[in-house]
Amino acid sequence: MEPAPFPQSRPRRLRRTAAIRAAVRETTLVPSQLVAPLFVKEGIDDAQPVASMPGVAQHSIESLRGEVKELRAAGVSSVLLFGVPSRKDDAGSEAWNPDGILQRAVRALREDHGDDLVLMADTCLDEYTVHGHCGPLRADGTVDNDAANDAYARAAVSQAEAGVDVVSPSGMMDGMVRAIRTALDEAGHAERIAIMSYCTKYASAFYGPFRDAAECAPQFGDRSGYQMDPANAEEGVREALADMAEGADVLMVKPAAAYLDVVHRVKQATGMPLAAYHVSGEYAMVHAAAANGWLDLDRAMAETLIGIRRAGADLVITYAAGWMARRLQG
């Protein structure tokens, strides 16, 4: 007698209830995988909302402390700080001022949270230069790569001495990770300070709202000469491999949602801890569409963030970190 044919599999059986779907879910997102980017501005007394980024503000040090306490209560344990100084110059020297706005904010948050908070700091110059580019300029208006690396190294050491756990060079200069790692090691921070490199950062149209918040729009030209061409994926993998070889501890792809293929390729090629930055324009456009009634804000934002995790990101840097963490708490 021929055996009876095996019953046809019906995947719908595992989709029937929310509890069953959760039990077989392939990709998860938890608050500890979220990183909240935060802006701290010199010379203000209260938080100032950023019009192009609903729910995001430029903070005073005191309002920043309150915001981080709320994030911690929601389970978010990592923040990425951007300083907005009141004084700018051609060199961006406030980036390494031991009493600069970012350094003071780092000390305040370390006092509040000790080692329970992962403190990351953006390590670049565009917020600190009068021209808005990511390094000192040559006479022809181009960024001086090696001078920029020297400045990043000074800024990284200053941030380390203020109390950060992770420095995050974002300028896309050749050799920036090596320069920073060397400076940190020589300053006695070889065992304590990690580097999260913006290794694969594209010259993207999705950064506009960030430049409102960080007050760092280029005063002329753009950053296409040092950020990556959006058409190139293999180059993004090569950049990641180069920064890994120079000593990066965490790699990053930026933007995230429009570059999920690159997130996946970099993770597969390196096996390194990988962050993906869900950038300001990607965040703002979900809010804008929801405000027009075109989609459901909560579902669209959550789907975007889980998609970034599914592509291979270990950390998701997002302005929706607090909202998503509270949603995950139920």
- Taking alpha carbons only, the member of 214, 259, 221, 225 closest to residue 240 is 259
**How far, rounded to the nearest angstrom, does the alpha carbon of residue 314 sit from its chain's CA centroid?**
12
Q: Give the whole-angstrom CA distance, residue 192 versus residue 190.
A: 6
Q: Give the whole-angstrom CA distance, residue 195 versus residue 246.
A: 10
Question: Is there a catalytic annotation at residue 88?
Answer: no
**For the chain, what's the residue count?**
330
Q: Give the whole-angstrom CA distance, residue 114 versus residue 38.
A: 18
Q: Which backbone phi and psi does 121 adopt, to 5 degrees?
A: -130, 135
Question: Is there a catalytic annotation at residue 267?
Answer: no
Max CA-CA distance within the chain?
A: 89
Active-site position among 41, 69, 88, 201: 201
Contact criterion met (CB below 8 Å) for 188 and 144: no
Identify the burial level of 309 via C-beta atoms within 10 angstroms of its C-beta, where 0-12 means exposed, 13-18 middle and 19 or more buried: buried
**How far, rounded to the nearest angstrom, does the alpha carbon of residue 31 sit from its chain's CA centroid?**
15
Residues with active-site annotation: 201, 254
